[in-house]
Chain A
Amino acid sequence: MTWFASAQDARDRLADVGYLADTATATTSYLAGALEKPLLVEGPAGVGKTELAKALARATGAELVRLQCYEGLDEARALYEWNYKKQLLRIQASPDDQAWEETHDDIFTDEFLLSRPLLTAIRREEPTVLLIDEVDKTDIEVEGLLLEVLSDFQVTIPELGTVTAVRRPLVVLTSNVTRELSEAVRRRCLYLHIGYPEADREHAIVTSQVPGIEDALAREVVDTVVRLRALELKKAPSIAESVDWARTLVALETGKLDEDRIRETLGVVLKHGSDIEKAVRELRLAARRA
């Protein structure tokens, strides 16, 4: 099946489900579907990498299968596992006259296989979006395990043989670059870097995500955030923070973003003590003027 008819189609359908994509994001999403290649998304925290995968699933009516990566993730949690307890029961319950070979063949069948996200996504017959979240958090060995899935959409289980995808899932990998991914993974993927959006797009995102916000307030929030990003901060605020900030201001029922309000709510946007100090120092005068 084709996921999207064109880049413009991808953009429209993503917009319909509330994800405002720029040209690069829309084009790359379309290509990921058209070329049937996995999509590696990198960028700072909170710019909507995971959200993109969810939006792709919503836009195409596919089901989202998610593999959250963490340190120590292994084959048994990512791919498949044999259900030892059930196998043991089966052996104990087998009639005395059954030959071992027969039992052996019996217990290594589908019935005793516990499918984990990667295998699940490959075996599904309905359209599927497979999200491999924060792939940089895993150990390097897991990457090797991903290679077969990413390039050929198949999983080899020694006892059963190779399971090939009936219908290729749309794979999205996200990474925060805490570790460099290996060349092998990068080569197999399309690459998309999502950065901080332009002011206009961010304004559109904030107004669409925060119902009931006044246009002028949204504009002020975005302007201030853009100026905060120009400072050299430890963690520059991203879209998630702008949206949170807008929500906070709406909840506080402030119509306007003045100096006091900024200082009171700056903790929503900046998460380091030194960043807040710096922002207060550099924005104070500007706020007084406004």
Chain B
Amino acid sequence: MSMLDRHVAFVEALRSAGLPVSLSEGLDAARAISTLGLGDREALRAAYAATLVKRQPHRPGFDQVFDLYFPRLVGEGVQHDEGPAAADRSTAGALDGPAELAEFRDQLTEAMAVGDPEALDVMAREAVQRFGQIRGRGQGEQRWSSYNVMNRVDPQGLVDRVLQGLLGQTDEDPALRRLVEAQARAFEQLVEGEVRRRAAEVRGPEHVARNTVRRSVEQLDFTSARKSDLEALRREIAPLARRLASRLQRSKASRRRGPLDFRRTVRASLSSGGVPLETHHRPRRPGRPDLVVLCDVSGSVANFASFTLMLVFALREQFSRVRAFTFVDDVHEVTDRFDVGGDPADVLAGLAASAAHATLWGRTNYGRAFSRFLEEHPDALTPKTDLLVLGDARSNYADPQLEVLREIVDRTRHAWWLNPEHPRHWDTGDSSAGAYGSVVPMVECRNLVQLGEFVRDLA
């Protein structure tokens, strides 16, 4: 494959991974690379990144595709001499035995304790080679699995051992633990990258790029987020709220002129001989709604609910009052858990704990939750209230109590239902999305982009 072909294929793969790469940016990249030459891989990466990736959230996806199309090394990554290599391979069975595994884990513990990225990198390659092999579908086809490696090497399980080695105790220093856990995650990512690289050698980079490259955090589905993603998502909330707030303030400022203040205009015109040179306007009344958020905190939708709540509370200046209730099959008010200077992680932990208060029998029951809400907190609903219901509308086949919801909606100014599921899953299984949707407009809200757009329109 010539350099030009590879460049074109790479740009194409970036597009299919969801990066908006325009024609002119592709040309810029080609120009940059011909100026720079191909001597240095990191310089090549920098040149492509500078010309093609114009948003930081796109960067992880870019790096993955780049590693596929411009791999750092080929094959096993080790220069074998012919003789010993053959011998190595014939004894491959012994290389991944239990004793070798224990030894490997010891080495990894050491590498994680030292925190040397290069050592981790070498270990990741070795781990895939030794513990990640599985047989492919085709005859003689070799495949690798990061799942196998994780299962056997289990880097997260080594965190305690590393801490033990460093401090002599395991639970002494949360900040250090976090660093070591980050090391373990880095190792996992290296292994995944290595598996992808090897897969790309066998099956071609296009195939791998199409199937394995993860979307940027903003476009990640709340319901399919992994633990490491959740942290990234949490970090995104504050900047998103800041962006939304500054945009809202700006658009409100531009609409600041209210209706003509006739009296003041005439009064001012006296100084210019009765000619109204300047008009005066009444200040616009800020139409800030009361917001009531009612959210399902059971199991899979809990993440979605907490992110939405955090965003809403980060934007609370835009509303005159915000109240939040959580439910599983009972209702519990959580408004006071959001204090102004609070730490997001603490808030989320408190919220998770509150799920216990919102539970009576432990099975999600929307109908029951709505009627309890109407009984306990009728004062929350006024004609100035905007109501937000967050949940997947999966009610374990219980009575949806549409009438109760209708009454709740009638008492409010506006009501919306945010559903974190893709519309194609609505009304499947125990979902009553369609029935509830006939009472409240139901909006799909699966990722941060959609959430941001919705909240912006709301405020």
Interface residues, chain A, with chain B CB atoms under 8 Å away: 7, 23-24, 27-28, 30-31, 34-35, 37, 40, 42, 71, 139, 177-180, 183, 186-187, 189-193, 226-228, 230-232, 234, 272-275, 277-278, 282-283, 285-286, 289
Query: Chain B interface mostly helix, strand, loop or mixed?
Result: helix
Cβ of A157 to closest chain B Cβ, rounded Å: 27
A180–B343 CA distance with the chains assembled, in angstroms: 25
A-contacting residues, B1-52, CB 8 Å: 20, 22, 24-25, 28, 31-32, 35-36, 40, 42-43, 45-47, 49-51
Q: Which residues from A are CB-within-8-Å of B47?
A: 27-28, 31
Q: Which residues from B are CB-within-8-Å of A27?
A: 36, 42-43, 46-47, 50
Cβ of B217 to closest chain A Cβ, rounded Å: 14
A289–B173 CA distance with the chains assembled, in angstroms: 10
A/B interface sample: 28 pairs, CB < 8 A: A7-B36, A7-B43, A23-B40, A23-B42, A23-B43, A24-B50, A27-B36, A27-B50, A28-B46, A28-B50, A31-B35, A31-B36, A35-B28, A35-B32, A37-B28, A40-B54, A177-B239, A193-B59, A227-B178, A230-B178, A231-B175, A231-B178, A232-B231, A232-B344, A272-B341, A275-B343, A286-B175, A289-B167
A273–B250 CA distance with the chains assembled, in angstroms: 28
Q: Does B179 contact A (CB under 8 A)?
A: yes
Among listed B68-76, B241-249, B389-397, interface-contacting one: B241-249
Which B residue's beta carbon lies closest to that of A195? Answer: B56
A286–B167 CA distance with the chains assembled, in angstroms: 10
A192–B45 CA distance with the chains assembled, in angstroms: 12
Given contacts A227-B179, A283-B175, A289-B173, contact A192 B246 (CB under 8 A): no
B172 touching A289, Cβ below 8 Å: yes
Q: Which residues from A are CB-within-8-Å of B40?
A: 7, 23
B235 touching A232, Cβ below 8 Å: yes
A-contacting residues, B316-368, CB 8 Å: 341-345
Given contacts A24-B46, A178-B242, A232-B343, contact A190 B51 (CB under 8 A): yes
A278 touching B343, Cβ below 8 Å: yes
Q: Does B53 contact A (CB under 8 A)?
A: yes
Q: Does B402 contact A (CB under 8 A)?
A: no
B173 touching A179, Cβ below 8 Å: no
For the complex of A and B, the 6 pairs showing the least CB-CB separation, nearest first, are A27-B46, A186-B54, A24-B46, A28-B50, A190-B50, A286-B173
Beyond contacts A228-B175, A230-B175: 18 other A-B pairs, Cβ-Cβ < 8 A, are A23-B40, A24-B46, A24-B50, A27-B42, A27-B50, A28-B49, A31-B36, A34-B35, A139-B250, A186-B54, A189-B54, A190-B32, A230-B179, A234-B343, A274-B341, A285-B173, A286-B176, A289-B167
A178 touching B246, Cβ below 8 Å: yes
A282 touching B174, Cβ below 8 Å: yes
Cβ of B310 to closest chain A Cβ, rounded Å: 12
